[in-house]
Amino acid sequence: MKFAVIQFPGSNCDLDMYHAVKDVLGEEAEYVWHDEADLSGFDGVLVPGGFSFGDYLRCGAIARFSNIMKEVVKAAEAGKPVLGVCNGFQVLTEAGLLPGALLRNRDLKFMCRNVTLKVENAGTMFTAEYAEGDELTIPIAHGEGNYYCDDETYSKLKESGRIVFTYSGDNPNGSVGDIAGILNEKGNVLGMMPHPERAVEKLLGSDDGLKMFQSIVKEWRESHANYA
């Protein structure tokens, strides 16, 4: 499976994404600069964390207009897996691929530490290797990770199983419903604030994020088995 790791000016988790896919999983990965306009040669798209365009105006607001985002939208519409982490989550909401918005953390402070996530839905292409109710140790590093949506949107997310991860025990940023990660309606676009790519090896303190990348590869291979 071949992944595109999108790079914006200010991205700083692109190397972590590349390492998780290329070095740990042993899959193909390439960096794709934001000015590029073709993702047709890739099977999955990773939108990493960082501070795209310095987080000016609003986190992800400028990155949303980059050439490559038109291709990310096309990839999502084609059913390819798209994972946006931290700033990547913010970019996906700005691009309209996911509902809601990311606000300043409740305490108005940047937070960088491990949190405990609960797997709310293990029946997705991103969580197939987990079990529902699993608790994961995953790091966060954000100042604007407070997920917000209106009551109607929240009800739709909850009823349709599109809330994939919640914070367990401690909500670090004030997100509605303790939300840490959500899916689009089709189920192939996941946005989350915690960083699974920084939790793929025990050496890093946790390898609880590895199964997410393994899930993506497994589900992709199974869906393409008939075309091999």
Q: 51 falls in which pLDDT band (50, 70, 90)?
A: very high
- Model confidence at 106, pLDDT cuts 50, 70, 90, reads very high
**Is the pLDDT reported for residue 215 higher than 70?**
yes
Q: What domains sit in the chain, N to C, each tagged with a CATH number?
A: 2-227 (3.40.50.880)
Query: Rounded to a whole number, what is the distance in angstroms from the first to the last CA of the chain?
Result: 12
Stated pTM of the model: 0.96
Using the predicted structure, report yes or no on whether residue 95 has a pLDDT greater than 90.
yes
Burial readout 73-104 (b: 16 or more C-beta within 10 A, e: otherwise): bebbeeebbbbbbbbbbbbbbbbebbbbbbbb
Tell me the average pLDDT of the chain. Answer: 96
pLDDT at 130 over 60: yes
Q: Judge whether 95 and 69 are in contact, CB under 8 Å.
A: yes
Burial pattern 42-71, b for ≥16 Cβ within 10 A else e, equals bbbbbbbbbbbbebeeebbebbbebebbeb
User: Which positions are catalytic?
Assistant: 86, 195, 197
Residues paired with 206 in a beta bridge: 201
Q: Measure the CA–CA gap between 31 and 155, rounded to whole angstroms.
A: 37
Cα–Cα distance measured from residue 224 to residue 219, given in angstroms and rounded to the nearest whole number: 9
Biggest CA-to-CA distance, the chain: 51
Q: What is the mean pLDDT of residues 127-153?
A: 98
Each residue of 189-203: b (16+ CB within 10 Å) or e? bbbbbbbbbbbbeee
- Taken as a whole, the chain contains a residue count of 228
Rounded CA separation 118/149 (Å)? 20
Flag whether pLDDT at 227 surpasses 70. Answer: no
